[in-house]
Amino acid sequence: MAGRIITVAQQKGGTGKTTVAAHLAVALLRRGKSVAILDVDPQGSLGQWFEAREQRLGEDATGLRFRTASGWGARREARDLARDYEFVVVDTPPKSDSEARPAIEAASLVVVPVQPTPVDVWSTDSTLALIARERVNGLLVINRVNQRARLAAEMIAAIRGLGCVAANAQLGNRVSFAASMGQGGTVLELEPRGKAAREVEDLAEEAFWNNPALAAA
C-alpha cells in the first residue's frame, strides 16, 4: 500500500506553511512513522530548515528523507517517495496555481494554514477552489492565533464558514515555533512540555489519527 501524501498549501504567503509542514512531519516521525519531506517552493525554506537539522543532528540522524521538485515533477516525486515511506509531507509555493496544483492533485490530504485576519480569510478562497477542483480532502488549520486579539473569535468563525473542514486544534502565535525552526528543529523536540508542543500534538491527532477522510484516502 502506498504511503499518504500530505500537501501543505496556501496561495497567500506568510501563513506559516513551512513551519506547519516541518512540525507535522516531525509529529509523524515521533509516532514511529517513516517520513519523507518534499520542498516544491522555489524559496527553499523547508530545505534550509532541513540543512540546519543536518548540522544540528548529523546527516544520518535527521530521521527524514528530503527531496526537492518543481512544477509537474512534484506529483511524480511525491508518488515516488510514497512507495517507500508511510507519509510524504509536501511544502508548496504561494501565489502559483501551476506550481501547487500537481502536489495538491497527488495528495491524500491538503492542509491549509490560515491566520485569523480578514485578508487571510479572503485569500483562502482560491486555495480551497483549487482543492475542490482536484477533488481531494482539505483541512483548514488556524495558525498564529492571538487569543487576546479582539478579531480572533470573529475571524475563526469566518474561517469555519469557508466550506472546508477546519481543525479544532489551533496553533498559537508563539515565538517558540520560529525559534525551533531556526535550529532545524521543532517545538516537539526542543520544548516538548510546552504549550506549543501540545498544540502540534493535538493537531496531528486530529489530522492523522482521528481523520476518517485520511483513513479512506
Kindly list the structural domains of the chain, giving each domain's residue range(s) and its CATH number in brackets, ordered by start: 4-216 (3.40.50.300)
Cell, residue 66:
528530503
Encoded amino acid at 213, one letter: A
Q: Are 109 and 6 in contact (CB under 8 A)?
A: yes
The SS3 assignment for 139 reads: strand
Q: What is the pLDDT of residue 1?
A: 65
**Rounded-to-integer distance, Cα 183 and Cα 106, Å:** 30
In terms of Cβ atoms closer than 10 Å to its own Cβ (0-12, 13-18, 19+), residue 190 is middle
Give me the pLDDT at residue 156, please: 82
Cα 77 to Cα 67: distance, rounded to the nearest angstrom:
8
Write out residues in the chain with pLDDT < 50, as ranges: none
CA atoms within 13 A on the CB side of 130: 27
Name which of 136, 77, 81 is nearest 104 in CA terms: 136
Amino acid at 119: V
DSSP state of 172: B
Instruction: From 107, 111, 89, 91, select the one nearest 99 (Cα to Cα).
Output: 91
Question: What is the structure's pLDDT at 203?
Answer: 97
103: which 3 cell numbers?
A: 502536489
- The grid coordinates of residue 153 equal 473569535
**How high is the pLDDT of residue 211?**
80
Over its C-alpha atoms, the chain yields an Rg (Å, rounded) of 16
CA 173 – CA 11 distance, rounded (Å): 20
pLDDT digit string (tens) for 50-74?
Answer: 999 999 999 999 999 999 998 889 9
CB 136 within 8 A of CB 112: no
Tell me the pLDDT of the chain averaged across its residues.
Answer: 92
Contact 127, 11 (CB under 8 A): yes
Give the DSSP letter of residue 41.
Answer: -
Q: What's the predicted TM-score (pTM) here?
A: 0.94
Euclidean distance between CA atoms 40 and 58, whole angstroms:
24
Crossing angle (nearest 10°) for helices 97-105 and 118-134:
50
Rounded Cα gap, residues 81 and 73, in angstroms: 12
